[in-house]
Structure 1
């Protein structure tokens, strides 16, 4: 009976030892086997692993993509304006051995503090080289990529793969907002005044050009009118000359009728002429008496 108890006890001890020598790693984890604080094994694939009970221990780390929200920090842009920035990063533990050596027993808590310091330095370094307008604009993809590139080498030294850095919010400090608004208003007013001045100058050029064009058109029209008038006068003279040459007596008669019409129009001044005046030559009867 006593032997049975001893065998059962030995079996239980063996079971406990066997159970304590087995560990399981799922697909979301990576594991290190430590012996007296030193790394003696790495388990990165999901499944069952083994260790020496009591002497060795297993430390597991998250293999998923992790997020880190940073506290707001103040940066000074290249134009000496202060900007408040909120950012967050996404990363994963890429090398568990480097991660353990860099953070020791502090693990993810220690890594988060170190990563915050790295990101703050990178953000200040990058944003300090650009203007506040670029930082405050909605198109900041290039800036965020540059921050990630600057911070990535130091993150690698911690065994971390820095996947992405995002600027959530970029604002002016409250005490600077009023001055900024005033400066923006002054800049817009100056731009508006410049535009108005350029518009007035352009309008003056257009008016001057229009006036010059009008003068040229009127001058050309008058010149052409004088030419046409001169040609018409010449044509009239030619016609009169031809008419006179064809029948001089009829031409004289026609000219006399024109003179009678103008002289005898209503309202004309009275004329005193002798009866034998040549003016009435075509008004005399066949007997020589005026009708």
Structure 2
């Protein structure tokens, strides 16, 4: 009878002992860190990976990730220095560097994300509110985000939250839907203005080119006409000189040639001449 009762007791003791043993041991991975609490009061923090022990039933463990964590929030509106409203979609990289302070101030990652969102948003409003839209989107973007990251991390340190904000970046910066059409219209009008300016400058340049071409044309034609007259004058002078020389050698023969040319020109099939018989024009046509 005693032996029959002892077996269940032994089994119960083994079960209770196993449960106690399991509850008193815990394993920590390389990407984890843990705080051990006793009735809600912090006892110690453990960062070394491996097998560790605690007081069963009385102490409990809370695990935190020691890797970089993502922080991504819904887009929020920010007003720039030139009174432009931007819908800013940003994200951040952060990590828990002091589990003890993190547990005492924040307890959970959800609470930490809410606090980080408030810190980053306030810094974004401060920095972007002192810069224009062009500076935020293009020229000063990297510098601004570095400043936001630095000040956000400094504020988290001042609050002793046990976290480090490593990086803050902008995923997207859009205009509110109600402003997009007006901005697009302004951009369209600006492009049209630039196009009109280029066309006007092109027409002006074309007129200059045409005027210069016309001027060169007039100069070339004038020089050509001058050259033509000079050549024609030289030719006429040579012709006159040759004619005078020929006339001086045989005046009668020259007169005869000139008369033949006059006959050829005047006596055509459709010409009618009324001349006297003694007309000098008919000198070389006379039979006498």
> What is the TM-score with the length of structure 2 in the denominator?
0.76
Segments of 5+ residues of structure 2 without an aligned counterpart are: none
Q: What does the per-residue CA deviation read over 1:172-215, in whole Å, with 9 as the maximum and x for residues that have no partner? A: 342x2343344334323322332232222122212212221221
Cα distance, 1:134–1:271 mapped onto 2, change above 3 Å: farther
Question: C-alpha displacement at 1:88, in angstroms?
Answer: 2.8
Cα distance, 1:210–1:107 mapped onto 2, change above 3 Å: same
Q: What's 2:118 paired with?
A: 117
Task: Measure, in 2, the Cα distance between the counterparts of 1:190 and 1:257.
Answer: 79
Segments of 5+ residues of structure 1 without an aligned counterpart are: none
Task: Measure, in 2, the Cα distance between the counterparts of 1:132 and 1:269.
Answer: 99
Task: Measure, in 1, the Cα distance between the counterparts of 2:79 and 2:135.
Answer: 13
SS at match of 1:32: strand
Is the Cα contact below 8 Å between 1:95 and 1:160 reproduced in 2? yes
Q: What's 1:107 paired with?
A: 108
Question: C-alpha displacement at 1:108, in angstroms?
Answer: 0.7
Instruction: Choose which of 163, 167, 174 in structure 1 pairs with 2:171.
Output: 167
Task: Measure, in 2, the Cα distance between the counterparts of 1:269 and 1:127.
Answer: 107
> What is the TM-score with the length of structure 1 in the denominator?
0.75
Q: What's 1:70 paired with?
A: 73
Is the Cα contact below 8 Å between 1:77 and 1:132 reproduced in 2? yes
The aligned runs of 1:139-288 (5 Å cut-off) are 143=141, 146-147=144-145, 149-155=147-153, 157=157, 158=161, 159-163=163-167, 165-168=169-172, 170-174=174-178, 176-265=179-268, 270=273, 272-273=275-276, 275=278, 277=280, 279-285=281-287
Is the counterpart of residue 40 in structure 1 residue 41 in structure 2?
no
Is the counterpart of residue 20 in structure 1 residue 20 in structure 2?
no
Task: Measure, in 1, the Cα distance between the counterparts of 2:216 and 2:131.
Answer: 51
Question: C-alpha displacement at 1:263, in angstroms?
Answer: 3.2
Cα distance, 1:169–1:55 mapped onto 2, change above 3 Å: same
**Alignment length, in residue pairs?**
276
Question: C-alpha displacement at 1:95, in angstroms?
Answer: 1.0
Task: Measure, in 1, the Cα distance between the counterparts of 2:286 and 2:139.
Answer: 112
Question: C-alpha displacement at 1:27, in angstroms?
Answer: 3.7
RMSD of aligned residue pairs (Cα, Å): 3.7
Is the Cα contact below 8 Å between 2:70 and 2:91 reproduced in 1? yes
Task: Measure, in 2, the Cα distance between the counterparts of 1:150 and 1:98.
Answer: 26
Instruction: Choose which of 83, 87, 104 in structure 1 pairs with 2:86.
Output: 83
